[in-house]
Structure 1
């Protein structure tokens, strides 16, 4: 098996069916398999997939285990030379799998690769090629200062808008919506860290891959469509909390020991302030809508 594609579904029935249809319309000589992990969706997606795509390998969870655990469930039953994390709210082009697999075969030092990801309005999903969220990069991002200096590689070190999205290059972070990873790299660094329920698990994986000597590569010679946050839009408070918790977890895991205590204090204060502001905005918005 050349490629094992893992799709995690949570209440995104139609989007997931669209994603599967796009995958099975792929034109390639490579062999691939699809593993769908359902996180206790409240619809009949499992039965529909069994009837419509009997070739899909299904894992039906009775509770929502989160993105990391569900992907790891899928990875544990795969044997492809490459593993592709693919969001359920994406649509791939007919040549996407072929182009990315050929790229990986031709570049054995690349541990993980990602293609160009665009949103429904045609704009770039900035998450598809990012820098690591170092304390300085996080400060400029959270404070919004990066918006005023989009071409400054130091100030815009997180979203890297100084880089041409149509050019190929090594990059710190790819996005878990489409991330193709070499089996040897996974064997070396391990699976996703299951402490991340959702958010930053892809960043953490990219960090560990790079630390182990692998190259993460952005390769925009093919494009996918991403209907972002489709499975999370109905639970804003949980999503806000998980994002900020994941940010703190990533900092504690990779940066806390490398920076003085005052930097850690500022990071905690910033994350706390961001969480409070987001929660407050959410409450006020709901009150206004009423």
Structure 2
């Protein structure tokens, strides 16, 4: 009889400079019953001044630490943890504030049971009490009722005023909200959601940073045909507004700006007109934070408030995450992993390896787990392309640096240590490209100037070298270049946070050029490290597509990058240059 594997449930929480709250939450989680579930905590440090991982004790072995590298707000911090948990294989994700306290030992069992009742029930929130001492009106209640004051027991959205109404708010619980019923919206403080919810409706809107990002997600889930439920038979406690502070200028700013965004996008015309009138009043006589919120909405400025922009130097669970994408190259991938362990020059605790297979070889995961049990493996159900595959794998990393290695790379002795040393010299402010050595021992031309019409004319019509085609810098030290192939590229997480990951417009080819053009635009240095040598069986990872398919993919990507008109101009210039070369 085959033993049925347990369903995976991830508990995701985010910490920003509130470590005591986080550890109280984790401690309260010890009481949870998990029968039939494989439960794991994912604790995201959202760029805290002091890394929360420094205080994790060995007994918290069921907690996996993650680091965003900067304060990405509620939306970005939770997205970071949720995406990681989905790659871990979670079927259910409990999103919970770190200032919550778990009280009912059957919480998970009850919530999972409800989600299993019907396919269209996608998410559920429990009843939420004020944690004792955190009530809005402390003097209103008898001592015997402390701990029974409701913060949230289901909700209704007021579309006239763009406001979420908490049912039962400030009431002493007398049992009238103890039923299971459908809810208009759920509380972002705590909800359990099926993975299908995120797969179909997307994640929190990161440009909102905090406030209304949970309401928008709930609305998108409902528009996708899902139902949301409130479970009054289980509960948690909430230390309300511990992170941003009740009535703080930061809260005032975010609520003002994001309420305008939400209302102007989803509300009726009548409500939109009312919001515009209200905005005028705020600009004339509102609080400073309200005026800034209105201004930034109408100027299209989103993301964190100015106070949250500080980016302290942060610690990470590991120093380096190595990302490998496999597509029908299992032999090369296994050899690459072997060469990493043999030649990295690093302690095994300093790095992790993440392999993503793009729906090509079902047995690869088993082969990797047998030979290299510490390697993290993801297998896509369909081939999503190189760029999206890389992005998926990055979502499953924890390192300060991400090293992208093609599966047809082999690591020379201490090459990884050398490229990391170079990156450290630039203090996480530069992207580093390794030096590629072909099988015959020659140096691969792997660098380029960002391709332009003028560059093509200079090289192909005027005979000026290295203005359009690939070249290898003639240098014995690290030098700055405009572009590099992605066969071996080290990217600090800090820079990924700044410029974003790879563009998923490109299935294969030109994603490297597009990424390097973004680096150039924001003046991030790209450094060619001649001291970090990597063997490269150039083309081995792409030849599995065949010549015709590879040419088609290259042509399609070139059209996306350049645009159709510029693409045909470039094609004509290259054709004319080749004709002139033959005639000469």
Q: CA deviation at 1:130?
A: 1.4
How large is the Cα RMSD of the aligned pairs? 2.4
Supply the distance in 2 between the matched residues of 1:50 and 1:56 (Cα, whole angstroms): 7
Supply the distance in 1 between the matched residues of 2:473 and 2:381 (Cα, whole angstroms): 43
- The reply on whether 1:248 has 2:577 as its aligned counterpart is no
> Any stretches of 5+ residues in structure 2 without a counterpart?
1-317, 576-584
SS at match of 2:450: coil
TM-score by length of 2: 0.41
The counterpart of 1:181, out of the listed 477, 491, 511, is 491
Supply the distance in 2 between the matched residues of 1:218 and 1:200 (Cα, whole angstroms): 19
* TM-aligned CA distance change 1:67 to 1:159, over 3 Å: same
Supply the distance in 2 between the matched residues of 1:120 and 1:76 (Cα, whole angstroms): 32
- In the alignment of these two chains, the number of paired residues is 255
SS at match of 1:2: strand
Provide the residue aligned with 2:346 in structure 1. 28
The counterpart of 1:238, out of the listed 549, 553, 571, is 549
Supply the distance in 1 between the matched residues of 2:554 and 2:491 (Cα, whole angstroms): 24
> Any stretches of 5+ residues in structure 1 without a counterpart?
253-263, 276-290
Structure with the larger RCO, 1 or 2 (CA within 8 Å, 6+ apart): 1
- The reply on whether 1:228 has 2:546 as its aligned counterpart is no
Q: How does 1:137-152 map to 2 (within 5 A)?
A: 137-139=455-457, 143=460, 149=463, 152=464
The counterpart of 1:205, out of the listed 507, 515, 526, is 515
**CA contact under 8 A between 1:109 and 1:215: conserved in structure 2?**
no
SS at match of 2:388: helix
Q: CA deviation at 1:124?
A: 1.9
- The reply on whether 1:2 has 2:302 as its aligned counterpart is no
* TM-aligned CA distance change 1:137 to 1:164, over 3 Å: same
Q: CA deviation at 1:200?
A: 1.2
Q: CA deviation at 1:162?
A: 8.0
Provide the residue aligned with 1:268 in structure 2. 568
Supply the distance in 2 between the matched residues of 1:68 and 1:24 (Cα, whole angstroms): 25
Provide the residue aligned with 1:50 in structure 2. 369
SS at match of 1:40: coil
**CA contact under 8 A between 1:11 and 1:43: conserved in structure 2?**
no
Supply the distance in 2 between the matched residues of 1:100 and 1:124 (Cα, whole angstroms): 17
Supply the distance in 2 between the matched residues of 1:101 and 1:62 (Cα, whole angstroms): 33
Q: Which has the larger radius of gyration?
A: 2
Q: CA deviation at 1:217?
A: 0.4
Supply the distance in 2 between the matched residues of 1:100 and 1:216 (Cα, whole angstroms): 13
Supply the distance in 2 between the matched residues of 1:60 and 1:272 (Cα, whole angstroms): 41
Provide the residue aligned with 1:156 in structure 2. 466
Q: CA deviation at 1:93?
A: 1.2
**CA contact under 8 A between 2:319 and 2:401: conserved in structure 1?**
yes
* TM-aligned CA distance change 1:17 to 1:165, over 3 Å: farther
1:105-161 superposed Cα distances (whole Å, 9 cap, x missing partner): 11126421012101112222212x2111111334566x5x68xx5xx4xx4213464
